[in-house]
Structure 1
């Protein structure tokens, strides 16, 4: 198949010519994961399963196993999007491997899993400060992508499951299988509608225009989840998460929107600031902030939080 070479050379991605990926031998992959042992399975997505492993040099890694030919495009996108892009808030692609009808992507391992695990897992709790810092880290990663010198990189699948958390509780964006690159002079690129239901920008669903504002919308939904601890889809909730939040700001009690896991340990002013920011992110495209503005507002909320009485710290794994 030789995807790393032939597929990348024929890719229409304007940045693919700069892509480099360390090719690892398949024996190294199978040895690192104990032959893709079920005991090493840490996740599963549309394109394949993800295993934890240890390379021969002692480095802990996450290995995505892609076996279906229809998902080869995912493999190519991740290699072209990540092999030349480096930022502290983006998961690092360390290498790739091809073996007949299967492909592997090898990433740095984030020991604390993903944000979805922490928000919705019964035994896990994030403190208010951890939530803000994860939000800021994720937003900084997006800012870097959206302002990349060679062209804006649109992630297209921002959601808690794609925000990884390392051992120091730093956020790292992951899963670039749906990403699109816009050339510097482009305002959008047209594409079939892709992404995760509940996080996809309604305007993108209507016009199929991929641009940075779609990521901002998705990030706004994530902010609402950081505040509320609620899943994006809840059959017991009468309305979508952003509409529920908006209704509470219009005469309702916003305390009803606070994640009970916070146990009252949060500064009201900072909470209100982030709630307002999240709603602006999920508003109509023309009124959404840029991701740079999002970072600025989140940093303001962090400063406010640091000035109030010490917040109770929560246990971590």
Structure 2
């Protein structure tokens, strides 16, 4: 993983929310920074850094490098100017067209397929959800936030782990047997697809009904079946 600069002072960071900052490198490149304090969370820095440092795909947020200063770190990523999918699905001021919904779904599927078929071993994301799908300036969707990711050996069918992830996206099999594998990501992505179609949060998707009842009313009936 490349060290971008030695101290946070060498980059102009502006606070956004949570642990996320926007910044500009000395060469003018706009970036996003995830702030990590070494208070027991340095494992996050190591895991996400090593998981992404050598992985490149158009539908994955690119890790540029990192900076460190005493007991704090910044993971430095390409900036996705249009925020995350959750803001577009559930924000009142933003509306996705049907073609944008379809393209986001395809982009997400491509990124997930790349992770699951990675030659050095299947990379299981474990936290696929709208906030972890970012939208770049060209409105391409990119998977992000690999803090919970697990890398399986080529000959492994699963790895065992404590149940981690976001409520509403964790699949029943994983909750039952604690087996981490690609199918768990597929389940989570399926929930995201339902949210793309309906514009509803995960907890409201258990209700039955046909496609006309599921479709996001903001589409005004402009969708393909």
TM over 0.5: yes
Of 10, 23, 33, the match for 2:3: 23
Partner residue in 2 for 1:56: 26
Partner residue in 2 for 1:260: 217
Moved over 2 A (4+): 24-27, 29-34, 40-44
* Paired residues for 1:163-174 under 5 Å: 163-174=133-144
TM-score w.r.t. the length of structure 2 is 0.96
CA deviations 1:210-231 (Å, max 9, x no partner) are 0000000000000000000001
* Paired residues for 1:77-226 under 5 Å: 77-226=47-196
Quick check: which one's helix share is greater?
1
Of 41, 44, 53, the match for 2:15: 41
> Alpha carbon RMSD of aligned pairs, Å?
1.2
The number of aligned residues is: 225
Conserved? CA contact 1:33–1:51, under 8 Å: no
Shift of 1:31: 4.2
CA deviations 1:227-284 (Å, max 9, x no partner) are 0000113xxx5xxx1x32xx21xxxx431211111111112x2xxxxxxxxxxxxxxx
- Structure with max Cα Rg: 1
SS of 1:266's partner is coil
Partner residue in 2 for 1:309: none
TM-score w.r.t. the length of structure 1 is 0.69
SS of 1:70's partner is coil
Unaligned runs of 5+ in 1: 1-20, 35-39, 270-317
Quick check: which one's strand share is greater?
2
